[in-house]
Every structure is written in structure tokens, then in C-alpha cells.
Amino acid sequence: MDLFKNFRNPAMARKVSAEILSCAGSRRISIMEVCGGQTHTIYKYRLRDLLPPTIRLVSGPGCPVCVTPVEYIDKALFLARNRRATVFTFGDLVRVPGTSMTLEQAHAEGADIQTVYSPLMALDYAKQHPEKEVVFLGIGFETTLPPALLTVRHACRDGVKNYSLLLSAKRVPPVLAALLSCQKHALDGFITPGHVTAIIGTAAYDSLCETYSVPMVTGGFEPLDLLFAIRRLVALICQGRHDNENEYRRVPKRQGNSKALALIDDLCEPVDAVLRGLGLIPQAGYALRDSYSRYDADKRFAIQVTSREPQGCICGLILAGLSTPPECPLFRNICTPGTPVGACMVSSEGTCNAAFLYDE
Amino acid sequence: MNDKILLGHGSGGRLTRELVRSLFARILGDAGPHSFNDGVLLQVPGTSIVFTTDSFVVSPLFFPGGDIGTLAVCGTVNDLAVSGARPLYLSLGVILEEGLDMELLRRIVASIALTARKAGVRVVCGDTKVVEHGHGDGIFINTAGIGILTHACDEHTVARGDAVIINGTIGDHGMSLLTLRKGFDLHASLSSDCTPLYDLIRSVTAVVPVKWMRDPTRGGVATALHELCEEKPWGIVLRETDLPFHESVSSLSELLGLDPLYSANEGKVLFVVAPEHADAVLALCKMHPDGKNASKIGIVSDVYPGKLVLKTAMDTYRTLGMLNADPLPRIC
């Protein structure tokens, strides 16, 4: 597939941009792009420059690293430093500040922390080192959860006894429901996250559209994917409709990925969860079912941490779509990708990171 | 000879002598020193001398397209070449870790010899130290190089309208090492671009008055050009659709959320030339085996003074800043 020809075509972008303008007129419209990957495309290709100033794009809470609370980093640090566990993680997480330090700093002090691209690499390591306690940091939304759960299923099948998951998995629909019900936003529409939707299916948003009378359009990650989604949302908003549609049809289907959903249902149950900046949200997380508790690092180890959110950082407001990075006094002065204070500056899906890199 | 490096190989005694004579000198051959005194007497034709040094701590030691030995020669001779010098002589300092396989060392020194011959330089002096097991990463190398100035660039002559040209695909070295380190085996087609550049550079500078050149190693193309633009009354606009990328580099960087403009190159040179010379530079590069994929990637512009700007594939503009920290691959 030629990305440049198909999804980064400037002539098509100008055409769609003109259509958006003629449809929206002078009406003020606020649209939230839920996923951090979408936020990055918007900044990277400066898509705001292709939209009328009356259309406001609000970055949402869909960056898995960003919504992970400080307490989770502290737990991972506790396992690596106090329990001498070998901790495996995705790269994004190592520079997120915990209360006292980052995983990267703990590694420099001698803690055994390794970055991987696939959770299965952590399980392989556990099999090769039966004398070690191996923990994988399973964070993310519905997209990254299935591969993490696969390690538990394989560990179970192969009788691996020294492997566990420190799970902090989040569910997109309850988070969107919380955003909509707090009514601080006046959001006119949502671009729902393409990859999460590939797992949960577009049908997962039906009841949200109905309950809150708001349109949702699933969007992809290429610049034109997003412009198409915005064009569709603007049309729906102007017609006063609250449909649930899909502009990323080459990936997500209405019913989602049945294998992944079955795996999640098999191993996990929905639980209330704390998201950084958003607080406790009912049913917004997943926990391993009791029958898998020996693979649950939270239950396997007596983890004791006292956590404190970083002072002065407004990550929470940014994640909730209530503030933008330049409104934070730390942004660019104290908080940079090299010396991040909040998680939004660390992750390559974080809004502050995108604004720092691409919005000079 | 032993098949492992021992602490005694760094003692300065018999073992050191044996290592230097029977491994380094024998393998380097005519690319090596003619004597083993404390210093070497060099004949340097011409008057202006360029002198540089670089250290090499790469992991893994061997990678597709080269090894730490290839890098140790290329890194230093390319620094000389982009300074407008013809590289002549290298020093070679190696820090070996106790227990290193002698066979690995042989292979690395053979690469040094091969690359030195290709680059037209001779290793004229050297030093060997051995550190205890666990105190080094197999082998660390330092090379220093001397060259004579053949083409003096002057970046103050760079002006609006000048062309920015690169001799081939961007980010190959950095991305191929990342692939290897992180155990991706799906990109076997990708290899480091590590190669000595003097021959290509000479073929260009012999004909065209190049205003500025640089080898975009660590920090990549974006960092090198960003440094050039800093505090200048002009900036540079790169056109995303003109940037040459190996297909594997494009897809891997999309997958990992990394920007290959910040990824290291070891066989690439950036030229800034007057607009009327751009076609000649492209033609000269394409005639050379190390310049087949040469492209004009950008233009010097006074619209964005002091800035490096990317015209994206969507015809929007955004600035490219300095690399802030080692990029972290993303979760999803």
C-alpha cells in the first residue's frame, strides 16, 4: 500500500478541507480525537492548518502511558528494587516519573528492567530463567491487552511458575462515558480510536451515541483518515444527528475481533479503575479473574507504595481535554522529553510530547 | 596463540608484543604501521592538515553491512572527508575485555584493514589495553585521523535558493542496528550504510564548489541540518516527499513511532551547493557506487530564518527541532 499516494495526498486533503469548510460554515465545533496516535498525526502533519479556525480539535485520554497513574510506576519500581524481580516493559514507560524516580533511573542503579516489543519475549525469558521472578508491565487499552493476556494463557499451558503480569488495562467506552457525563466539555463529536475499535468493534459505541446524543466516527491514523473522519463528523453535527459511523473501514469491523474479545473475557473481568487526571471511573479497567490470581503481580507480591502525583503538572487537565500543553507553566521550561515531569511528555502518544516535537 | 584475550595481553610484555605483531600487524599488512616505535614520522604533502578523533562502543559488535572495525575507520575518515580533507593516516587504540575471543578480534582487525585500504589510509600507530572481564563490552576502539585539506568549505557563503543534497537513503545505520538489538528478524533486507566517503566527496568537490558538507551520523539528518541553520538569517525547508528512505526503514519507523530523520547514518553526506550546481552534484553522485540514490531533499530559504522546516506530504509546514533524548519506541 502506498501511504503517500493513498492517505497523504495533498490534493485530496485540500478537497476535503474545502468540503469541511463549506459544511461547517462559521459554526463553532469541538471534536475530540480519543487516541494519542491520532493526536500525533494531527500535530505531525499540522492538520489544524487545513481546518477552519472555528473547528477545535481536543486531544483525548487515549494514550495508555499517560493515563497510567504514578502509583503503577511506583509498584513496578517496588517489584524491581525491593523484590529484585526482572521487570519487562514497553519502551514508553521507562522515562515516566514515579514518586521518587523513573524505571530508567532504577535501571541505572542496577535494577533489572528490560524493554521489549512483545510481551512474549518476557515469558520466554521467564522460561529460560526459572530462578528469577519475571514481571511484565501490562498497561494499555483494549489494543495492547490481548497480547499481554496471551502470555498468561501460555504460562498456564506451559506450567511457568515464575511469571506474572502487573496489569493496568483500561477500557475506552466507560472512559468516554465518564467524559460525557461530567459535562465540562461541550464536545460536539468524537473520533473514536481505530486500533481499539479493531478489537472491541464499532458497535461498542452505539449506546454512548444514543445516551449522550453525540456522534462518533471511528478514525484511522493517516492524515487523510483523520480528515475523512472530521468531514463526516462535521456533516453529522450540522445535521443534528448522533450516528455511530466508521471512516476506517479497512481495519475495524462492527463486531470487533472475536478471538481477542474471547481471550479478554476468559481471563479478565471489568473493574473500577483510576486514570491519571480523570480519577476513579466505574468499570473502566480490567483485572485478571481470581482463577488466574497466581499470574497477578498485585496478588503475588505484597506491594507497598506511597505515591504522590508530580507538583505543578497539569497532565490531568490535558488528558481530560480541559487544557492544552502551552497552558502548563512547566511546558518547555522544566518539562521536556529529556526531563519529563508528567507522563504526557514522555510517551510518543502523549499530547505534550507531540506539542513539544511538532508545534514549535 | 591463545584463543581468548587475557589480562596479560595488556601487560606490555611478551603477550602484548605477540598480539601486536602476530595479530594486528599481520592482518593490517600494508594498511598497517611500518615500525613499532613510540611515535611515527609522517610525510605530509601540502600545508593544511586536518586532525580528528572518534571512539566506538557499538553493540552488537557485528551487524549487517559492517562491524565495529568498519565503523572505527569510516567514522574517522568520513569526519576528515567532510572537513574537506583527503584522509591519510589513522591511529588505532583498542580496549579489549579479558576473555574476548581471539577469532572475533581477528575478524574486526580484518575489517579495519579492508576498510582502511578502501579509504586509502594507513594505520600508522596504535595502542592496546586489556580490562578485567565484566569491565568492558568486548572491545572499545578509538581512532584518530590526519588528512590534508583539498577543499575548503565556507558555510557563510550559503544563501537563499541553495540546494541540499544527500547521496542516498536516510537512517539505514541507526534503524538496522535497532532492528538487530531488539531482535526483529523481519527486516533482513536492511543493512548499515557504513562506508568511507572520501572517494565520492572528491568526485563532487573536484568539479563543484561545495559550500557546506557534513556526515549525518548520531542525531541524523535533522540534527546536522538543524545545527547548520542555528542563528543564521536563513533556514532550510526539506520536502518530505523527496526524502529517500529504504522501504524497511519507512515501515519500521512507522511501526515503532520513530523518526528516521533523527536516525544515524554512517555512509551518507549532506551537500549544500548553489542552485545551478544541484544537477551536477546529483549526476556526479549517481555515477558513484555510494551515490546511486542521491536526492535533492531541500532548499535554503529566508522565509524561516534559523529554522529547519519540513514541508509535509500534506503540504503543511512544521519545524524539525533538535533531538531531545534517545527516542523511545512506543507501546502501540
DSSP string, A288-307: E-GGGGGGBHHHHS------
Query: In the structure grid, which three cell numbers stand for residue A97, read together?
Result: 516519573
Q: What is the pLDDT of residue B331?
A: 62
List the alpha helices (DSSP H) in A239-312.
Answer: 258-267, 297-300
- Contact (CB, 8 A) for A334 and A341: yes
Which residue type does B145 have?
Answer: G
Greater pLDDT, A125 or B183: A125
Q: What is the CA radius of gyration of chain A?
A: 21
Q: Residue B33 and residue B124: Cα distance in Å, rounded?
A: 4
Minimal CA–CA distance to B78: which of B48, B47, B45, B119? B119
- Contact (CB, 8 A) for B273 and B225: no
Going by pLDDT thresholds of 50, 70 and 90, the confidence category of residue A156 is: very high
Q: Residue A194 and residue A141: Cα distance in Å, rounded?
A: 12
Of A40, A95, A358, the CB nearest to B328: A95
Phi/psi of residue B40, nearest 5 degrees: -125, 140
Q: Percentage of chain B with pLDDT > 70?
A: 94
Q: Is A34 helix (H, G, I), strand (E, B) or coil?
A: strand
Other Cβ atoms closer than 10 A to B124: 20
Q: What is the pLDDT of residues A126-136, one digit of tens each?
A: 999 999 999 99
Query: In the structure grid, which three cell numbers stand for residue B127, read together?
Result: 595502542
- Cβ distance B328 to A358 less than 8 Å, yes or no, reads no
- Show residues of chain A in contact with B319, CB under 8 Å: 358, 360
> Is residue A157 scored above 60 in pLDDT?
yes
- The domains located in chain A, with CATH, are 69-171+258-300 (3.40.50.11740)
Q: What is the pLDDT of residues B2-50, one digit of tens each?
A: 788 888 787 777 788 888 888 999 999 988 888 777 777 777 776 789 9
- Contact (CB, 8 A) for B260 and B193: no
Q: What is the pLDDT of residues A197-231, one digit of tens each?
A: 999 999 999 999 999 999 999 999 999 999 999 99
- Contact (CB, 8 A) for B201 and B82: yes
Q: Residue A76 and residue A236: Cα distance in Å, rounded?
A: 44
Superfamily the domain B155-319 falls into:
PurM-like C-terminal domain (3.90.650.10)
Q: Which helix (H) or strand (E) holds A156?
A: helix A145-157
Q: Residue A59 and residue A100: Cα distance in Å, rounded?
A: 28
Q: What is the pLDDT of residues A28-83, one digit of tens each?
A: 999 999 999 999 999 999 999 999 999 999 999 988 888 999 999 999 999 999 99
Q: What is the pLDDT of residue A358?
A: 83
Task: Identify residues of B whose CB sits under 8 angstroms from chain A CBs.
Answer: 182-184, 241, 254, 256-257, 307, 312-319, 321, 324-325, 327-332
- Cβ distance B332 to A64 less than 8 Å, yes or no, reads yes
Q: Residue B330 and residue A195: Cα distance in Å, rounded?
A: 14
- Show residues of chain A in contact with B317, CB under 8 Å: 46, 49
Buried b (16+ CB within 10 A) or exposed e, B3-19: eebbebbbeeeebbeeb
- Cβ distance A347 to B329 less than 8 Å, yes or no, reads no
Phi/psi of residue B20, nearest 5 degrees: -65, -45
- For residues B172-181, average pLDDT: 87
Q: What is the pLDDT of residue A320?
A: 81
- Cβ distance A360 to B321 less than 8 Å, yes or no, reads yes
- Cβ distance A92 to B183 less than 8 Å, yes or no, reads no
Q: Residue A353 and residue B34: Cα distance in Å, rounded?
A: 55
Q: Which helix (H) or strand (E) holds A233?
A: helix A223-238
Q: What is the pLDDT of residue A3?
A: 65
Q: What is the pLDDT of residue A343?
A: 84
Q: Any bridge partners for residue A130, and if so which?
A: none
- Cβ distance A140 to B331 less than 8 Å, yes or no, reads yes
Q: What is the pLDDT of residue A1?
A: 56
Greater pLDDT, B311 or B17: B311
Q: Residue B128 and residue B21: Cα distance in Å, rounded?
A: 12
- Cβ distance A357 to B315 less than 8 Å, yes or no, reads no
Q: What is the pLDDT of residue A231?
A: 98
Residue range(s) occupied by CATH 3.30.1330.10 in chain B: 7-149
Which of A348, A349, A359, A360 to mutate: most B Cβ within 10 Å? A348
- Show residues of chain B in contact with A140, CB under 8 Å: 331-332
Q: Any bridge partners for residue A138, and if so which?
A: A167
Going by pLDDT thresholds of 50, 70 and 90, the confidence category of residue A338 is: confident
- Cβ distance B316 to A50 less than 8 Å, yes or no, reads yes
A300: CB partners within 8 A, 6+ apart: A164, A293, A294
Phi/psi of residue B203, nearest 5 degrees: -65, -25
The string of DSSP letters for B194-248 reads ----HHHHHHHHTTS--SEEE---TTHHHHHHHHHHTT-S-EEEEEGGG----HH
Q: Residue A119 and residue A127: Cα distance in Å, rounded?
A: 13
In the sheet that holds B85-97, the strands lie side by side as B49-56, B139-149, B85-97, B122-131
Least confident stretch, A311-315, B86-90, B177-181: B177-181
- Contact (CB, 8 A) for A61 and A179: yes
CA A254, chain centre distance (Å): 21
Distance from CA of A240 to the nearest CA of B (A): 30
- State which fold the B7-149 domain adopts: 60s Ribosomal Protein L30; Chain: A; (3.30.1330)
Which value does ipTM take for this structure? Answer: 0.79
Q: Which helix (H) or strand (E) holds B7?
A: none
Buried b (16+ CB within 10 A) or exposed e, A187-226: bbbbbbbbbbbbbbbbebbeebbeebebbbbbbbbbbbbb
Kindly report the average pLDDT of chain A as a whole number: 93
- DSSP letter assigned to residue B263: S
Phi/psi of residue A166, nearest 5 degrees: -95, 100
> Is residue B180 scored above 90 in pLDDT?
no
Query: Cα–Cα distances in Å, from B286 out to A273, A322, B84, B203, B295?
Result: 59, 53, 20, 11, 9
